A and B are shown apart, each in its own frame.
Chain A
Amino acid sequence: QQQVKQSPQSLIVQKGGISIINCAYENTAFDYFPWYQQFPGKGPALLIAIRPDVSEKKEGRFTISFNKSAKQFSLHIMDSQPGDSATYFCAARPTNFGNEKLTFGTGTRLTIIP
């Protein structure tokens, strides 16, 4: 049962371009939506996160856009750089206290080409 759907599976963007990765969720009882970045041979690391009471959060070149009514959220990477090449996972956490496990999307392999 996949509660978080992520697309695309892979993405190639030219250096300097905008990378966009989309996620949609089905369970309305989520209250926290992080994005994780994973480099080959490493574990995922938190990149940026948003709560549903805001529609957008920006940290440097990374922006999360959140559409609560559509149950969708997306990651935008502005001025994409070769060092951004990695696999990106969106995730969602349920609201019920004590149940803090994240449900992850299937990941997007991003490649930034010169």
Chain B
Amino acid sequence: GAGVSQSPSNKVTEKGKDVELRCDPISGHTALYWYRQSLGQGLEFLIYFQGNSAPDKSGLPSDRFSAERTGGSVSTLTIQRTQQEDSAVYLCASSRRSPGELFFGEGSRLTVL
């Protein structure tokens, strides 16, 4: 596709369940980012993948959050034992190696009941 694709676009789950969010970046983009957007909180960095380097996980809020990127392309963000405070829009972005323009997907809106 032409842009960053994320799925599902909306996910409603019950507290305690695990969820997986998928991101398909723009072809040829080596960097992939996950951000979380909560109401009034701006864009919170979660994790950053760059090529074959070890990912920068410094933004993950707890060990319930994990992400992987397979074959340098598709990424999955997994949230285990979801909590109500995990409710947010999860945005994925990709970019070329430099200079740094991020191309965002439309996000996955997660609601934890």
Number of A-B residue pairs having CB atoms within 8 Å of each other in the complex: 58
For residue A6, which residues in chain B have a CB less than 8 angstroms away from its CB?
A: 42
For residue A98, which residues in chain B have a CB less than 8 angstroms away from its CB?
A: 50, 53
B23 to chain A, nearest CB (A): 11
Cβ contact within 8 Å between A44 and B104: yes
Chain B interface residue number, banded: 20 to 34
Cβ contact within 8 Å between B100 and A41: no
For residue A105, which residues in chain B have a CB less than 8 angstroms away from its CB?
A: 42
Take A9-B40, A105-B42, A106-B40 as given contacts and tell me if A99 and B56 are in contact as well, using a CB distance cutoff of 8 Å.
yes
B30 to chain A, nearest CB (A): 11
Docked complex Cα distance between A99 and B41 (Å)? 23
Cβ contact within 8 Å between B91 and A43: yes
Among A9, A100, A104, A106, point to the contact of B50 (Cβ < 8 A): A100
Which A residues have a C-beta under 8 Å from some C-beta of B?
6, 9, 32, 34, 36, 41-46, 49, 89, 91, 93, 98-107
